[in-house]
Amino acid sequence: MITVHHLEYSRSQRVLWLLEELGLSYEVKVYKRNPKTKMAPPEMKAIHPLGKSPIITDDSLVIAESGAIIEYLLDRYDTQNTLRPAPGAMERLPYNYWLHYAEGSLMQPLVVALIFSEVQKAKLPFFVKPIVNGIVGKVNAAYIGPQVKLHYGFMEQELQNKPWFAGPDFTAADIQMSYPVEAGLTRGVNPSRYPKVQDFVNRIHQRPAWKKAEARVGDFGIPS
Ligand SMILES: N[C@@H](CCC(=O)N[C@@H](CS)C(=O)NCC(=O)O)C(=O)O
């Protein structure tokens, strides 16, 4: 039996969605974030030493890291390759690219954006606030803003002539991309500048498997 260790409002929503797309049965154990630090609770470290979401267990196997979980589930339960191009197919390379780009490249500036927005929201003595705001403003102007613009411009361009990231068909790479794409939109990216990206988000929300997975845990919100 597959169990998804799901931290609320986290990357593991993708695993729930994938399991619904594959029509597999699974159990979900929901963990709450620490209200102050937003970190995962210590119980998750009892499952995997890093204690980060997602983690799945499949009988005695423990698997962490969303990309590795997706590959494991497809290797084991999607042998007909319904959610990825078959090895050797033309779209297999772009599929691999987007599967890895999501966590390897796109998430980076978005995590920095989240950290600096938390720093700006922190309760600080009034005389420290202008200094902190100045630093945050500089990091935004020099790094976060240009990087996020670069990535969203790239994705917008890539989606000009194809409906899904890897080509004409919906794949698990779209599932992996969904979280960082939406994280950017909740962290200040203006959707009207990226209509194809916004359209991607609208279309994934319409998928029955997305709706089923979201209904299973309540709400798929993303920390902003
Ligand atoms: N690259 C990892 C990232 C895992 C990760 O950082 N997960 C976040 C949730 S979105 C987490 O568990 N945060 C809480 C914590 O670090 O305590 C993956 O894709 O699985």
CB 66 within 8 Å of CB 52:
no
Q: Specify the CATH number for the domain of residue 176.
A: 1.20.1050.10
Q: Is the pLDDT of residue 222 over 90?
A: no
C-alpha to C-alpha distance for 171 and 178, rounded to whole angstroms? 11
- Alpha-carbon gap, residue 181 to 194, rounded angstroms: 11
**CATH code (residue 28):** 3.40.30.10
Same domain membership, residue 12 and residue 111: no
Confidence of residue 167 (pLDDT cuts 50, 70, 90): very high
What is the b/e burial string over 10-23, where b = at least 16 CB atoms within 10 angstroms of the residue's CB? bbbbbbbbbbbbbe
Q: Which amino acid is at 85?
A: P
The answer to whether residue 219 scores a pLDDT higher than 90 is: no
Determine the distance separating the centroid of ligand 1 and the alpha carbon of 40, expressed in angstroms. Answer: 8
Q: Whose CA is nearest to atom 19 of ligand 1?
A: 66
Same-domain status, 34 and 99: no
Please state the atom number of ligand 1 nearest to the C-alpha of residue 179. Answer: 10
Same domain? 140 vs 200: yes
In total, how many domains does the chain have? 2
Tell me the per-residue pLDDT of 25-69, one tens digit each, with 9 for 90 and over.
999 999 999 998 999 999 999 999 999 999 999 999 999 999 999
CA of 54 to the centre of ligand 1 (A): 7
Structural domain containing residue 149 = 92-207
pTM of the full structure: 0.96
Closest ligand 1 atom, CA of 223? 10
Helix (H) or strand (E) holding 56, with range, is: strand 55-58
User: In angstroms, rounded to a whole number, what is the distance separating the alpha carbons of residues 12 and 27?
Assistant: 13
Residue 122 CA to residue 159 CA, distance in Å, equals 37
Number of Cα atoms under 13 Å in the Cβ half of residue 91: 18
| Ligand 1 mean position, distance from CA 161 (Å) | 32
Please check whether residue 73 is in contact with residue 19, taking contact to mean a CB–CB distance below 8 angstroms. Answer: yes
* 63 lies in the same domain as 130: no
User: What does the pLDDT look like over 110-163, one tens digit per residue?
Assistant: 999 999 999 988 888 899 999 999 999 999 999 999 999 999 999 999 999 999
- Ligand 1: residues within 6 Å at CB? 7, 10-11, 39-40, 52-54, 65-66, 103
Residues in the chain, total: 224
- Residue-wise pLDDT for 58-98, tens only, equals 999 999 999 999 999 999 999 999 999 999 999 999 999 99
**Residue from 10, 29, 52 to probe ligand 1 pocket by mutation (most atoms less than 8 Å from CB):** 52
Going from the Cα of 89 to the center of ligand 1, the distance in angstroms, rounded, reads 31
Helix (H, G, I), strand (E, B) or coil at 29: strand
Separation of CA 128 and ligand 1 centre (Å): 30
